[in-house]
A = this chain, B = another copy of it.
Amino acid sequence: MTDPDLPPRPKAAVMGDVADLAGVSAMTVSRVLNSPEKVRPETRDRVLQAVRALGYRPNSAARVLVTGKSGVLGVVSIDTTLYGPASTLYAIERAAREHDYLVSIASLSALNRRSIEEGVERLRQQSVDGIIIIAPHESATEGLRHLPPDLPVVDVGGGEDVHVPATAVDQRAGAVRATRHLLSLGHRTVWHISGPPNWIDASGRIDGWRAVLAAEGREIPVPLVGDWSAHSGYELGKRLPLEVTAIFAGNDQMAMGLFRALRESGRRVPEDVSVVGFDDMPEAAYFWPPLTTVRQNFGEVGRHAFALLRDRISGRESERRRLVEPELVVRESTARYPAE
């Protein structure tokens, strides 16, 4: 950091100042900073010394202006307060940092095509080198269709028909595992509390769940539609028919609300009803009872997203779509039925 008790400070040093002090031309200073191997060691040291002496800090705007690369990437995301997006964003930021990229964020003001386009536009105006979109919602797929073709974009958690490189957790596979697990415990069928309509992961989970039930010839109950919140899990839980013995909740929060509803109606988990969640948020192991759930590796998703974007930016070819396998974590909210 610069010395705090320096005199009034004339002005931040620029490349020319460094050049003068080192007795070289500006171009040489630029070279020292960008491709040091092209400068003779002694010159380089002299320049570096001048840089330190003046506390010189390259002006990124000037560099961007001439190179056209900003070293900044944008993330357009829905509510970054949600566990999934927050974790993904965090992983992206870490990966970006390792490769000397900075991350700018634009959160969505609404879930529609316009809002996505707006976010992209906002980032684009700040000349980001590329954009990652975290918006697992139908409307995003819509918005993605109308992107400027020259901008590297990577989609996270979107639908299958997205025409940009994409990565996501395999929601369907997760739902399949959850449902199979419940059936294997002896349950006749499995109910589902789903995420809200038009959310990609919500439909993926419904698909997987339904497919297993169909394949096994089980009765397929109507899914109860929640909004990801514990509150909705609670409300839907209160309306659950008495004969239900197994429930696959669309995420951990809804499972939590569900727990409370079941308890209030005198049903025990897992003795009377088994519950599986989705996400494996850090708290899931401390639910009562500890929640059996499907773990999504958001860290990996974030890292992939960044890697894909990097490939796109540098013009490299890369996979079109990369799925991350979810993992069933069995804890104590599921049990054999009927109990032995």
Contact assessment for B80 and A86 in the assembled complex, using a CB-CB cutoff below 8 Å: yes
**With a CB–CB cut-off of 8 A, which chain B residues contact A65?**
59, 61-62, 65
Contact assessment for A89 and B80 in the assembled complex, using a CB-CB cutoff below 8 Å: yes
User: Residues of A within 8 Å of B, CB-based: how many?
Assistant: 64
**With a CB–CB cut-off of 8 A, which chain B residues contact A149?**
2, 4
How far, in whole Å, are A89 and B105 apart by their CA atoms in the complex?
10
How far, in whole Å, are A61 and B61 apart by their CA atoms in the complex?
5
**With a CB–CB cut-off of 8 A, which chain B residues contact A107?**
90, 93-94, 97
Whether a CB of chain B sits under 8 angstroms from the CB of A164 is no
How far, in whole Å, are A287 and B94 apart by their CA atoms in the complex?
32
Per-residue CB contact flags for chain A residues 205-232 toward chain B (1 = under 8 Å, else 0) read 0000000000000000000000001110
Among A46-54, A174-182, A255-263, A308-316, the stretch in contact with B: A255-263
Whether a CB of chain B sits under 8 angstroms from the CB of A233 is yes
How far, in whole Å, are A149 and B107 apart by their CA atoms in the complex?
31
Contact assessment for B81 and A147 in the assembled complex, using a CB-CB cutoff below 8 Å: no
Contact assessment for A148 and B97 in the assembled complex, using a CB-CB cutoff below 8 Å: no
Pick the contact of A58 from B4, B79, B125 — CB < 8 Å?
B125
Pick the contact of A126 from B4, B72, B83, B121 — CB < 8 Å?
B72
Whether a CB of chain B sits under 8 angstroms from the CB of A31 is no
Contact assessment for B64 and A61 in the assembled complex, using a CB-CB cutoff below 8 Å: yes
Contact assessment for B230 and A283 in the assembled complex, using a CB-CB cutoff below 8 Å: yes
How far, in whole Å, are A83 and B123 apart by their CA atoms in the complex?
25
Contact assessment for A109 and B89 in the assembled complex, using a CB-CB cutoff below 8 Å: no
**With a CB–CB cut-off of 8 A, which chain B residues contact A93?**
80, 105-107
Whether a CB of chain B sits under 8 angstroms from the CB of A35 is no
Query: Which residues in chain A, 263-293, are within 8 Å of chain B measured between CB atoms?
Result: 263, 282-283, 285-288, 290
Pick the contact of A285 from B117, B125, B231 — CB < 8 Å?
B231
Whether a CB of chain B sits under 8 angstroms from the CB of A9 is yes
Per-residue CB contact flags for chain A residues 69-110 toward chain B (1 = under 8 Å, else 0) read 011100000011101001101100110010000111111010
Whether a CB of chain B sits under 8 angstroms from the CB of A339 is no
How far, in whole Å, are A257 and B287 apart by their CA atoms in the complex?
8
Whether a CB of chain B sits under 8 angstroms from the CB of A242 is no
Whether a CB of chain B sits under 8 angstroms from the CB of A60 is yes
Pick the contact of A97 from B79, B109, B125, B150 — CB < 8 Å?
B109
Pick the contact of A283 from B1, B59, B253, B290 — CB < 8 Å?
B253
18 additional contacts, CB 8 Å, given A2-B148, A61-B64, A93-B105?
A: A1-B146, A4-B148, A4-B149, A9-B150, A59-B65, A59-B127, A60-B126, A61-B61, A61-B62, A61-B65, A80-B93, A81-B87, A97-B107, A102-B122, A104-B105, A256-B287, A260-B288, A260-B290
Q: List 16 A-B contacts (CB under 8 A).
A: A4-B146, A4-B148, A59-B127, A60-B126, A61-B61, A61-B64, A65-B65, A97-B106, A102-B104, A102-B122, A102-B126, A231-B285, A256-B287, A257-B286, A260-B286, A260-B288
